Structure 1
Amino acid sequence: MPGGRLTQQDRQRIAAGLADGLSYAEIARRLDRSASTISREIGRNGGPGDYRPQHAQRATARRARRGRPAPARAARPPGGGPMEEEIIQLAVRSGMSRMTARVHVDLLLSEDGRRTAAELTRRLGVSPASVSVAVNFLVQHGFVRRERDPRRRRDVYVVDDEAWYHSIEVSARQTLQVAQAAMAAAETLGPDEPAGRRLSKGGRFLERVVLDMQDSADRWRALLG
């Protein structure tokens, strides 16, 4: 691995990798650096939710002028570990951003499946804005539901047993819309045209798969009860 300090361009590529939900190991591979270098760089400059390349560059320059080591990152609250990281990596590989996966896993592993935005912000050591983006995605895709605490006038985010069913339901509905759009486009282009035949076949395939998936989810929903 090459030595030397990270450059401004390196830090911009780190930020882009985080935004794309890449793992530390993948970012390190793309920069031809060690994973520990990337982890240390992100940890001392705001964490994955608050990493800013310009700020990191300035902070590194200030530390170099002072001649002091970087301040240690605040200890993460209990609950993390290899198992949690493995689940996060699986979610990231499936297409979820790392920040969203961290919020989802923290909710899944909580004792009662409930957290406020403030609790998530404190536990994960990230900004309220990062948590807001993550929970909005999770709510929209059926992984989490939002409840209102009338006494404290704040939202509570909840993962319960039915969340698995609702996430499949949302995904199926979205895929069915794609299937219907494909079949409509096939009719417009003409069923005898090559593109029309291709879209028609794809649309019918997706439609049947989605309907079967919905039937299966309904049939086995009792397992969540």
Structure 2
Amino acid sequence: MPGGRLTYEERQDIARGLADGLTYTEIAKRLERPVSTITREVIRNGGGGYQAERAHHETGVRARRSKATAPRPAPVATDEHGRDPETIRKLEENFTAMLVDTGLSRTTARVLASMYTTDSGSLTAAELVQRLQVSPASISKAVGQLEQQKLIRRERDPRRRRDRYVIDGDIWYQSWMASAHKNTLLANVAHSGAEALGPTTAAGARLKNMGQLLEHLGNDMIRAAERWRDAFGDR
């Protein structure tokens, strides 16, 4: 049942869904489970090599081991703002799961989630390595992908002679506008292709329709972003 532990039958459904090429969101909807539950289940139990029987067995082993070694509950330690670290951890985990489902790799999603939930909005590569417990190479690849999508930017810290990665308040606006620009460029290519092939031919008509759609979507995206900036950009 939603909210409880996954059953063996549900794990079989997950395995079938992955084999059929379904996304985590589609599998979660089918099982009436949170997407984060499906994401954690798959990642913890083999990722692309997920097997229902093995996952069910390993989950039982982990549960018994955790019960046998669990220490006595300690007083909850909060940060300087009085926030519960466990609550923040769960927030990062759920945020990461959502980002993974949009197509980001897990490490890239974890980097972005960490930066969003850090008050400074700024971390060095070394700090990310320590925070996420992954290799420097993994962090380098992740920040490169995020920079390319304009979701973070790089700043030089002259005091420490190292780069800092910064997340701005309007990064989604910038990323959205970059996507709109790409749609416009692709629309132009499609229009040129339609003219070259002949707009009355099957291939030309296909490219013409593609160009019209992308041009329309790109313009709508730009107008929507500008309306948001006018209404909320200065807050």
TM over 0.5: yes
Distance 1:198 1:35, change over 3 A: farther
Q: Aligned AA for 2:136?
A: P
Which 10-residue stretch deviates more, 150-159 or 98-107? 150-159
2:113 is the counterpart of 1:93:
no
Distance 1:212 1:162, change over 3 A: same
Aligned with 1:224 (options 201, 211, 233):
233
What's the counterpart of residue 153 of structure 1?
161
Distance 1:224 1:35, change over 3 A: farther
What's the counterpart of residue 187 of structure 1?
195
State whether residues 198 and 204 of structure 2, in contact with CA within 8 Å, keep that contact through their aligned partners in structure 1: yes
Q: Aligned AA for 1:130?
A: S
2:46 is the counterpart of 1:30:
no
State whether residues 168 and 217 of structure 1, in contact with CA within 8 Å, keep that contact through their aligned partners in structure 2: yes
Aligned with 1:135 (options 137, 143, 151):
143
Structure 2 CA distance for aligned equivalents of residues 147 and 36 of structure 1: 47
Q: CA deviation at 1:35?
A: 6.8
SS at match of 1:34: helix
Aligned with 1:198 (options 192, 206, 212):
206
Give the aligned length: 168
Structure 1 CA distance for aligned equivalents of residues 56 and 209 of structure 2: 45
> How far does the alpha carbon of each residue in 1:103-126 deviate from its partner, in whole angstroms, 9 at most, with x for none?
000000001100011100100000
What's the counterpart of residue 45 of structure 1?
none
> How far does the alpha carbon of each residue in 1:58-94 deviate from its partner, in whole angstroms, 9 at most, with x for none?
xxxxxxxxxxxxxxxxxxxx57522221111111111
Q: Aligned AA for 1:199?
A: L
What's the counterpart of residue 110 of structure 2?
102
What's the counterpart of residue 74 of structure 1?
none
2:202 is the counterpart of 1:176:
no
> How far does the alpha carbon of each residue in 1:166-216 deviate from its partner, in whole angstroms, 9 at most, with x for none?
111121122222222222211111101111101111111111111111121
State whether residues 40 and 97 of structure 2, in contact with CA within 8 Å, keep that contact through their aligned partners in structure 1: no
Q: Unaligned 5+ residue runs, structure 1?
A: 2-21, 42-77
What's the counterpart of residue 4 of structure 2?
none
Structure 2 CA distance for aligned equivalents of residues 123 and 36 of structure 1: 30
TM-score, structure 1 as length reference = 0.68
CA RMSD of aligned residues (A): 2.4
Q: Aligned AA for 2:140?
A: S
